[in-house]
């Protein structure tokens, strides 16, 4: 007599179902493992540029960052959206783009207003390097003379920008040496006579020392008979302050 009748019947359907359930459970794994979407580096870069553009309210370098931020922001949005959902970061890109646009527009308006109002009325805006220093001097028969382009400025009320040079005090300055730039004209030595001026405060006024660019308003004078190495130009200044713009 066979023992096969005593064996429990094999349920092929339930066996298959059980194996499928176990296989399905095993393959589920960690659901977050397959839902992760990486952040495109373009988004954070656009955001950083947008934040850096805030310095556009204080200087032209920040406005340059804002211009770059606008282009990068637009490019970031386009690249992320064209990725078909494989990367994210659109929010970063949009935020950076908006910051860059606002800083560029508002910062430019602020700087333009400062430029238009920084020069006192009745004073002529003069560019120290381009309108004075670059012309140097003219020599006739070995005698030093002012260049014809510069001579008409003498005796005029002018508004100039430059840098203080080697001030001995931080406050209470009655006069100081005024350079066309922040020392590059000197090349480590003494500046040329046409690259510097002596600023004399008038009416008993004094000024403090500034490390950055300085704006000077006063009457421009010249002494062509100054000794070699001495400043030819002088300014009788009524105003000395930190420059609001660098151009």
Instruction: Report the 3 state secondary structure along the chain.
Output: CCCHHHCCCCCHHHHHHHHHHHHHHHHHCCCHHHHCCCECCHHHHHHHHHHHHHHHHCCHHHHHHHHHHHHHHHHHHHHHHCCCCCCECHHHHHHHHHHHHHHHHHHHHHHHHHHHHHCCCCCEECCHHHHHHHHCEEEECCEEEECCCCHHHCCCEEEEEEEEECCCCCCCECEEEEECCCCCCCCCCCCCHHHEEEEEECCCCCECCCCCCEEEEEEEEECCCCCCCCCCEEEEEEEEEECCCCC
Residues in the chain with pLDDT < 70? Answer: 1-35, 183-189
Q: What is the pLDDT of residue 1?
A: 46
Q: What is the pLDDT of residue 25?
A: 43
* pLDDT single digits (tens) 153-204: 999 999 999 999 878 888 999 999 999 987 655 545 678 889 999 999 999 9
Q: What is the pLDDT of residue 246?
A: 84
Q: What is the pLDDT of residue 84?
A: 83
Q: What is the pLDDT of residue 21?
A: 47
Q: What is the pLDDT of residue 174?
A: 94
pTM value? 0.72
Q: What is the pLDDT of residue 106?
A: 95
Q: What is the pLDDT of residue 168?
A: 81
Q: What is the pLDDT of residue 183?
A: 63
* Mean pLDDT, rounded, of the chain: 85
């Amino acid at each position: 007599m066979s023992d096969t009748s005593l064996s429990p019947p094999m349920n092929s359907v339930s066996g298959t179902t059980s194996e499928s359930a176990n296989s399905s459970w095993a393959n589920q794994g960690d659901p977050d493992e397959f839902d992760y979407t990486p952040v495109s580096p373009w988004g954070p870069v656009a955001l950083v540029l947008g934040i850096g553009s805030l310095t556009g309210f204080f200087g032209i370098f920040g406005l340059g960052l804002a211009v770059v931020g606008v282009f990068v922001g637009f490019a970031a949005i386009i690249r992320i959206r064209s990725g078909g959902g494989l990367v994210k970061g659109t929010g970063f890109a949009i935020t950076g783009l908006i910051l860059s646009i606002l800083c560029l527009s508002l910062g430019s308006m602020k700087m333009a207003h400062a430029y238009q109002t920084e020069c006192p009325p009745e004073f002529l805006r003069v560019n120290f390097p381009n309108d004075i220093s670059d012309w140097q001097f003219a020599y006739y028969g070995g005698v030093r003379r002012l260049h014809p382009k510069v001579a008409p400025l003498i005796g005029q009320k002018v508004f100039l920008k430059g840098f203080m040079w080697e001030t001995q005090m931080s406050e209470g300055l009655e006069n100081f040496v005024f350079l066309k730039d922040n020392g590059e004209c000197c090349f480590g030595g003494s500046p040329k006579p046409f690259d510097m001026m002596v600023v004399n405060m008038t009416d008993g006024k004094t000024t403090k020392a500034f490390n950055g660019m300085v704006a000077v308003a006063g009457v421009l004078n010249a002494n062509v008979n100054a000794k070699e190495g001495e400043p030819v130009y002088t300014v009788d200044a009524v105003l000395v302050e930190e420059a609001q713009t660098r151009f």
